[in-house]
DNA sequence: AGCGCTTTGTAGCACTCGCTACAAGCGTCG
DNA sequence: CGACGCTTGTAGCGAGTGCTACAAAGCGCT
């Protein structure tokens, strides 16, 4: 048993139950150990969560690449719509649940969450840049515009107002 | 002492400490009572939270109207930028902290949070409709586009990537 | 005054939380 | 073999959780 062995089942548990109320004993049970051992391997809960966040960010990046490989979108709007649709698929729901826990943690000034969130956004931003149309006049600005609309639409979908976000997606120019 | 007397100090406490880890005893202390009395007046914690969410939604609507009265924006983009700037002011930070707790709660299938979030989004949507330029060709669609970008930009600001969201705001057409 | 109702205080329940003290098992190496 | 260090189990601590049992105030009513 090591961190590397422990992280996958721990991440699976978090994806199913959310990050906010993941406590040591249930986590340990999910990974087939005891809270005692989690603390032995990670030091304390904060370090565990930090390791978990990093691992989950990697999982998210992999999942994105698997779900939507190399091809470029025909337009900014199409790129945004594609990401929106992909992340709306059931297999992405656990990621979003964790994501909103992370965002909430950021607003409560949790440094680890803040770092993780920034990293995840950077990964997603790069990913969008690489999937923008070939001839986009300003891929950096384009990716930012696309990201903003995607995230807004995802949030609105999460709170039960998908129509609002989808109208926002449709209004994206380019 | 009644619900109406209790709610303001309770809401103040939640705005300062977040909704996620607000427990009965600290809440009661903030309101000058005991956990025993909170349960007496509200029945149980879920009902307390539901009442609190409703009260906070009202506070948010009032705060919006106070911060940005009746005038209309010259463009959709300006309208979005104004809301973004207003909600970036320090006095709105507590609302956003609570807001992300609510969104996270929605992703965890908490019905009370879901209802509150939907209501708040509807209020904000109506507010945006009323502040769009006079001659907007399609205020409903416009407000939705504006909302999507605002929320995306707010989220990106909350996780430490304000530049991304602001580029998104700048790319809003109209 | 005495009754009944609403409001309040004290104390406690059973539980979970993160974390730790202590010791037993374990394989490795001298 | 024995001693050592890495890994693990058991048990528990002190604090906090939502909630409840019980009783005592305060109040208006007849």
Is the dihedral angle over the CA atoms A115, A119, A125, A129 positive or is it negative? positive
Q: What is the pLDDT of residues B99-127, one digit of tens each?
A: 999 999 999 999 999 999 999 999 999 99
pLDDT digits (tens, 9 = 90+) for A68-100: 767 899 999 999 999 999 999 998 999 999 999
Decide which of 1.10.357.10, 1.10.1040.10, 3.40.50.720, 3.30.930.10 is the CATH code for A3-170: 1.10.357.10
- d(CA A66, CA A79) in angstroms, rounded, equals 16
Residues 6+ apart with CB under 8 A from A96: A87, A154, A158, B107
Contact B96, B158 (CB under 8 A): yes
CB distance A149–B148 less than 8 Å?
yes
Test A145 with B167 for CB contact under 8 angstroms: yes
First to last CA, chain A: 51
Question: Which residues fall within 8 angstroms of residue B25, CB to CB, at 6 or more apart?
Answer: B34, B35
CA–CA dist B133, A104 (Å, integer): 33
Q: Touching check for B111 and chain A: CB below 8 Å?
A: no
Residue of B20, B101, B153 lying closest to A148 (CB–CB): B153
- B9 and B26 Cβ atoms separated by less than 8 Å: no
Side-chain half-sphere CA neighbours of B40 within 13 A: 9
Nearest amino-acid residue to C11, taking CA and C1' = B36
3-state secondary structure A74-132: CCHHHHHHHHHHHHHCHHHHHHHHHHHHHHHHHHCCCHHHHHHHHHHHHHHHHHHHHHC
Structure tokens at B120: 């708040």
Quick check: B94 and B15 in contact, CB under 8 A? yes
Query: In the prediction, which pLDDT does A68 show?
Result: 75
Using CB atoms, pick whichever of A18, A122, A151 lies closest to residue B155. A151
- Cα B14 from Cα B102, distance rounded (Å): 12
Q: What pLDDT, on a 0 to 100 scale, did the predictor assign at position B24?
A: 98
For every residue of B67-88, DSSP letters joined together read HS-SPPPSSHHHHHHHHHHHHH
Q: Which residues contact A80 (CB under 8 A, 6 or more apart)?
A: A146, A149, A150, A153, A169, A172
Interchain CB contact of B173 with A (< 8 Å): yes
Confidence of residue A174 (pLDDT cuts 50, 70, 90): confident
Query: With a CB-CB cutoff of 8 Å, which residues 5-44 of chain A face chain B?
Result: 18, 20
| Nucleotide nearest residue B21, measured CA to C1' | D17
**What local confidence, expressed as pLDDT, does residue A78 receive?**
95
| CA distance to partner chain A, nearest, from residue B86 (Å) | 17
Domain boundaries, chain A: 3-170
Closest Cα of chain B to A1: distance in Å? 31
Q: What is the distance in angstroms measured between the alpha-carbon CA of B36 and the sugar C1' of C11?
A: 12
If we measure between CA atoms, which residue out of A10, A95, A9 comes closest to residue A45? A10
Model confidence band, residue B64 (pLDDT cutoffs 50, 70, 90): confident
Q: What does the CA dihedral B58, B84, A132, B142 come to, rounded to 10 degrees?
A: 60
Q: How many residues does chain B have?
A: 174
In the predicted structure, residue B80 carries a pLDDT above the cut 90? yes
Q: Calculate Rg over the CA atoms of chain A.
A: 18
Q: In the structure encoding, which two tokens stand for residue A95, read together?
A: 């990621």
Which bases of strand C sit closer than 7 A to a protein CB?
Answer: 7-11, 16-21
Q: What per-residue confidence (pLDDT) applies to A64?
A: 85
**B64/chain A closest Cα distance in angstroms:** 19
Model confidence over A105-163: pLDDT tens digits? 999 999 999 999 999 999 999 999 999 999 999 999 999 999 999 999 999 999 999 99
C-alpha distances out from residue B168 to A17, B69, B150, Å? 32, 25, 9
pLDDT of residue B50: 97
Q: Closest to B141 (Cβ–Cβ): which among A114, A147, A167?
A: A167
């Amino acid at each position: 048993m090591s961190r590397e062995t422990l992280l996958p089942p721990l991440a699976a548990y978090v994806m199913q139950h959310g990050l906010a109320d993941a406590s040591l004993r249930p986590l340990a049970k999910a990974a087939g150990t005891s809270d005692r051992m989690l603390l032995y391997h990670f030091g304390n809960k904060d370090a565990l969560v930090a390791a978990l966040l990093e691992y989950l960010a990697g999982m998210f990046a992999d999942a994105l690449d698997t779900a939507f490989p190399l091809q470029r979108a025909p337009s900014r709007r199409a790129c945004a719509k594609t990401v929106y649709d992909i992340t709306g698929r059931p297999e992405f729901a656990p990621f979003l649940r964790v994501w909103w826990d992370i965002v909430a943690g950021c607003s409560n000034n949790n440094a680890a969450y803040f770092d993780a969130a920034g990293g995840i956004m950077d990964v997603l931003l790069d990913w969008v840049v690489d999937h923008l149309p070939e001839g986009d006049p300003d891929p950096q600005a384009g990716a930012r515009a696309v990201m903003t609309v995607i995230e807004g639409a995802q949030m609105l979908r999460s709170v039960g107002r998908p129509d609002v976000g989808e109208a926002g997606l449709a209004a994206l120019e380019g």
